[in-house]
Amino acid sequence: MKQQQYKLKDVSQGDIHDYDSILKYFNDKPAVQNKKSTYHSITFVTTGIIEYDGGQTTMLHLGTLLSQKGYDVYYLSYVPQSQKEMEHNAEANYENYQGTCLSFDKLDTHESDIWFATLWESAYVIKNKPGYKMYFVQDYEPYFYPYGDRYQLAQKSYNLGLHMISLGPWCAKMIEKNCTQYGKIDQITFPVDLVNYPYKKRNFDNYGTKKTFDLAVYTKWDSPRRAPINLQMVLKNTQKLLEIEDGIRFRIHYFGSTKDKQFINGENLGKLSKSEMNELYKKCDFGIAPSMTNFSLVPFEMMSTGLPFIDFTEGTGKFFIPENCRFNVHMDEKELANLFMTVKENVDVLKNNNEKTQQFLQTIQWSHTLNDFVKIIENI
C-alpha cells in the first residue's frame, strides 16, 4: 500500500546534531573542583546573548555588579555568535553593562578562576574545565521539555558536582525534591530593579467608579511557562462575565511576544524596552504576568512602579511574594471576575496592598542579591 503524504509532522525533539559543536563535552565524568584562596575572574558560559531575554538580563546585571566589586567578569558563548552581536544584544538587555563578551572560538582557550553554567547544556560544557565550577540556576530546566532524554539530561546536570546557586527558593526546592544525588546548593535573593522602574503614586479611589480597566499582560507565545493559551482563555471568559453582569470592560495590552502573534483579545505590543514598559505600567490599572515555573523579573518590575499585580495560584508567586502584596486567584474566570468586583467595592484593599508591597520591595533590592552572591563566593 502506498504511504500517503500529509503536511502534519511530529514535533522534532530528537536531533542530536543540535549539539554537534559541543558534543565532545557530554559525558558522565563528575566535576573535580579546583579551589583557590582568592578568586579574581568569573566567567558566565551562556547560549550567546539574546535580546529581550530576562534570564540573560539578570546575568548581565549581576555580572555588572560583580565587575564593580573588582572581579574580572566574562560572558562566554558556547554557541556560534559573533562578539559584536553579543555586545549589541547585551547593551539592549542591560544598558551600560560591564564585563567582556567572548565568542565561541574562545571556549577551549579561555581561562577563569570561577566558571558559571547558565543552562543545563553549559553545565556539561564547563564541568571538566580547570577552576571552580558553579551553576547559576534560574529555573528548574527539566520542565522545559516533554518527559524524555532532554528532560533527563537537564535533571542530571544537577548531579554533576557543580556548586549551584539558586535564584530564589523555588529552584532549590525543586532540585531537592526531584533529584536524589544533587550537588551543593545555595540560594540568593530574587531581586527587584527599583531604579529602572520608579514608583508612581496612583489614585486608587478612581478604581471604584471605573467601567474600563487597562491590563498590562506579560506572556510569551512560545513559552508554556508563561501560560499564553490558558491566560487568553481566562481573560476572554472573565471579560464576558463582567460585561454581562456589571458592564465592566477590559483593554488588554499584551507584551513579551513578537508582534506577528495574533492574540484572541486585546492588542499585541510586541517586545518592549524598559522605557516602553514603564509607560505601559503608568497607564494601566493592573498587571498580570504568569510564572508557572521559576519567577519572572516582570512582576517585581510592575510592582515597583506601583501597579497592582494579579498572581495565579497555579504558579510560583507564593514562593516569592507575601500574600498581602499580590492579588491571588486561580486561573478561573469566576475568581478573576470576583476580584475586580471586590476591589471596586472596597478600594482600601488596593491601598493596603500597595503600601505593603512597597515596604516588601525594599527588602529584595539588587544590593541584597549581590551581598548574598559575594558571600557565597568568599566562603568557597
Q: Name the H helices within 247-347.
A: 274-283, 297-304, 333-345
Q: Is the pLDDT of residue 65 over 70?
A: yes
Sheet with 267-268: list strands edge to edge. Answer: 267-268, 249-255, 212-218, 286-288, 309-312, 327-329
Q: What are phi and psi of 68, to 5 degrees?
A: -65, -20
Write the burial class of residue 84 (CB in 10 Å: 0-12 exposed, 13-18 middle, 19+ buried).
exposed
**Above pLDDT 70, what percent of the chain?**
97
Structural contact between residues 110 and 74, judged by C-beta atoms closer than 8 angstroms: yes
- Would you say the pTM of this structure is higher than 0.75? yes
- Please give the sequence-ordered ranges of beta strands (E in DSSP) within the chain, or none if there are none: 41-46, 72-77, 100-102, 114-117, 132-137, 163-167, 185-188, 212-218, 249-255, 267-268, 286-288, 309-312, 327-329
User: How do residues 34-53 score in pLDDT, each as one tens digit?
Assistant: 999 999 999 999 999 999 99
The pLDDT of residue 3 = 53
SS3 142: helix
Over pLDDT 90: what percentage of the chain? 93
Whether pLDDT at 239 is above 60: yes
Question: Cell 557530554 sits at which residue?
Answer: 26
Q: How confident is the model at residue 109 (pLDDT cuts 50, 70, 90)?
A: very high
Which amino acid type is present at position 304? S
User: pLDDT tens for residues 268-278?
Assistant: 999 999 999 99
Residue 8, pLDDT score: 47
Q: How confident is the model at residue 11 (pLDDT cuts 50, 70, 90)?
A: very low
Question: What pLDDT does residue 364 have?
Answer: 97
pLDDT over 90 (residue 60):
yes
**Per residue in 122-168, pLDDT tens?**
999 999 999 999 999 999 999 999 999 999 999 999 999 999 999 99
**Band (5; pLDDT cuts 50, 70, 90):** low
Give me the phi and psi of 100, to 5 degrees please: -110, 130
* Reported confidence tier of residue 7, pLDDT bands at 50, 70, 90: low
Confidence of residue 14 (pLDDT cuts 50, 70, 90): confident
pLDDT confidence tier of residue 78, bands split at 50, 70 and 90: very high
> Based on C-alpha coordinates, what's the Rg of the chain?
22
Q: pLDDT tens across 164-217, in order? A: 999 999 999 999 999 988 889 999 999 999 999 999 999 999 999 999 999 999
Residue 12's pLDDT band (cuts 50, 70, 90): low
